[in-house]
Amino acid sequence: MKFSTKTRYGVRTVLEIALHEHKNGIYQKEISENQQISYKYLDHIINSLKVAGLVTKAAGKKSGYVLTREPSEITIYDIHIAFEPGICVVDCLEPNFVCERIELCTLRGFWNGLNNQIIDYFKSVTIKDLMEDQIKLLDQQ
């Protein structure tokens, strides 16, 4: 299972905004340069994050982006669902999937358990957690 580039870049974008949080926000150009994400692709990422209510423009015409909530209140799952409808490790867990073996398949329970663990993990990690890890990493250099 792979997570989309949009989800991965979305996490990087939100982390970058959180690390540079100030009154005027951080400009898209800076995010693009710091995270090595093309400016044009970053447009799509930021738009999805805005629609999801995770980021917004700071006040004023010449302002950058800020978070709409505290970093401790934004989870990796929040960011993921800005780009994808949810997490599903196998097709048979999809709500509309029809399987003739559902009554006989013990593996569905296994896949569902794994799926739930991934969702729980995504919900347990916040942007604040990643900020702290990033700061520790930078302090080691």
Confidence (pLDDT) at 75: 98
What is the 8-class DSSP label of residue 71? G
Alpha helices (H) in the chain, listed in sequence order: 5-19, 28-35, 39-51, 76-80, 107-124, 127-139
**pLDDT value of residue 126:** 98
Please give the pLDDT value at position 101: 84
**Closest by alpha carbon to 52, among 69, 71, 27?**
69
**The predicted structure's pLDDT at residue 93:** 86
Enumerate residue ranges in the chain where pLDDT < 70: none
Count Cα neighbours of 90 within 13 Å in the Cβ-side half-sphere. Answer: 14
Q: What is the pLDDT of residue 134?
A: 94
Per-residue model confidence as pLDDT tens digits over 25-51: 999 999 999 999 999 999 999 999 999
Nearest to 34 by CA among 49, 52, 20, 48: 20
The model's pTM is: 0.90
The per-residue DSSP string of 18-50 comes to: HHT--TT-B-HHHHHHHHT--HHHHHHHHHHHH
